[in-house]
Structure formats: C-alpha cells, structure tokens
Amino acid sequence: MDFSWMAWTTPTAIFFCVIALLLLSMALWERVSPGGSPRRGILGLETTRGDRLFLSLLGAAFIHLAWLGLVGPNLWQALGVSAIYAFFVFRFV
C-alpha cells in the first residue's frame, strides 16, 4: 500500500503506535482485572479506566495544540505537561 499521501514521519508513526499500545494495554488490563470499579472523582462523574484514558488523550491533544500555537514546534515540554496531566486525571478524576 502507498501511504505517501498521509505524510508519515517518524514522530507521526510513533504517535499512532503509542496510542495503539495504550489501547492494547487498557484492553489487557480489563481482561486481567474486569470492571475497574468506576469511581466518582473531582468532576462528580463516575468514570472508568477507559473514560480516564480518553480524557487524558483528549487533554493531551489540546495541550499540544495550545503549545504549538503559543510556544512553537518543540513539543517535548508539551509531552511532559501531558504526562503530568494524565497522571492527575488517573489519580483524581
């Protein structure tokens, strides 16, 4: 298959591989420990592990877009901010 129209670069491939690995990891975690006991966090909503992963990925996308617009194309610091954000989402939401 010819994927040249998608502008695949190494960072793009790594990005999609990481998301695929996160989804696979969550599926395996659910297989080993079903249910994940939904909990009510600071938002007042019941969330499961999958919900928190989705919120983490969505927040990371917004953090990276804001970083691109406000700071520039060096996204390593944005990755760190996103990791800290994901930690707090999984811990408190």
Which string of DSSP letters, residue by residue, matches 12-72?
HHHHHHHHHHHHHHHHHHHHHS-S---EE-TTSSEE-HHHHHHHHHHHHHHHHHHHHHHT-
> Quick one: pLDDT at residue 11?
75
Q: Are the CB atoms for 85 and 59 separated by under 8 Å?
A: yes
> Quick one: pLDDT at residue 81?
95
pLDDT along the chain (93 residues), means of 10: 70 84 91 84 88 93 93 90 95 92
Q: Are the CB atoms for 86 and 60 separated by under 8 Å?
A: yes
> Quick one: pLDDT at residue 86?
95
End-to-end Cα separation, the chain, in angstroms: 41
> Quick one: pLDDT at residue 1?
63
